[in-house]
Structure 1
């Protein structure tokens, strides 16, 4: 997954006005206690981060 697709999915799930703020502030246990922004900055694959976000937000299987 490319970062552009990742951010498109984040915008769809949380709204474009909130997704970046959420990514910088919400700590996710599935990312080792890091935020989305921290995980991406540390080189975590966007697909791995998306799966953690998907699970954390309990999104429907169709959005995985």
Structure 2
């Protein structure tokens, strides 16, 4: 997963405004007690950050990859 794909999923799955706020402010234990943005800035792979964000927000697996049925899900963790 690229950074661009990460942010596209944040916007699509969480909503642009809410998703961006959550990425900046929600502390995620799975990535070292950092926000998603801090984790990305620290070099944590975007796929790992996405899973941590979805897990924290209890996003169902069926919704994690957006609405594009042709978009393959990134390899599992």
Fold match (TM-score > 0.5) = yes
Unpaired segments ≥5 residues, structure 1: none
Computed over aligned residues only, the root mean square deviation of the Cα atoms, in angstroms, reads 1.2
TM-score, normalised relative to structure 1: 0.88
CA displacement, residues 6-47 of structure 1 (integer Å, 9 cap, x when unaligned): 111111222112222211111011111100011000001000
Report how many residues are paired. 64
* TM superposition shift of 1:49: 0.4
* Max Rg structure: 2
2:17 alignment partner, SS class:
coil
Unpaired segments ≥5 residues, structure 2: 66-77
More strand as a share of residues: 1
2:33 is equivalent to residue 33 of structure 1: yes
